Amino acid sequence: MIDAARLDATFHALSDPTRRAILARLAAEGDITVMDLAEPFEMSQPAISKHLKVLEEAGLVSRGRDAQRRPVHLEAQPLAEATGWLIEYRQYWAAQFGRLDDLLGELQRLEAASGKT
């Protein structure tokens, strides 16, 4: 997937609260089956399967196999790429966002100090 299309898919996947909640649960609880994922949502199982397909096509999750179950696994690489895109704008948050800005300003200095580009 070319870079732009990958970012398209990643940001689109993140634009839905159900999908963000799925990622949050995977981060907190590790691999989860579809039924277990669907349980807290007021939504049918096929709806969850569709959301998982969106996440999978964006590379944000992968699927395993455990008998009838297809445990869902978080794949965070696209999140790193999306973060990388956003980090480019850190200088524009200036001032208004004290803590995050402080920390990312520090990050920027470290980046310079490390001599890497």
Partner DNA sequence: CATACAAATAACTGTTTGGTTCTGTAACTG
Partner DNA sequence: CAGTTACAGAACCAAACAGTTATTTGTATG
Binding site for a copy of itself (CB under 8 A): 4, 7-9, 11-12, 14-17, 20, 23, 27, 74, 76-77, 79-80, 82-90, 92-93, 96-97, 99-104, 106-107, 110-111, 114, 116
Tokens of 13: 């996947």
Distance of CA 63 to the CA centre of its chain: 16
Nearest to 62 by CA among 99, 100, 32: 32
Tokens of 64: 């395993």
Kindly write out the interface string for residues 36-75 of this chain, putting x where it contacts DNA by CB under 7 A and - elsewhere. x-----xxxxxx-xxxxxx--------x-x-xxxxx----
- Is 35 a binding residue for DNA by CB under 7 A? The answer is yes
Query: CA–CA separation, 6 vs 106, rounded Å?
Result: 29
Three-state DSSP at 73 gives strand
CB of 41 to DNA, least distance (A): 8
Summarize as ranges the residues that interact with DNA (CB under 7 A). Answer: 12, 15-16, 18, 33-36, 42-47, 49-54, 63, 65, 67-71
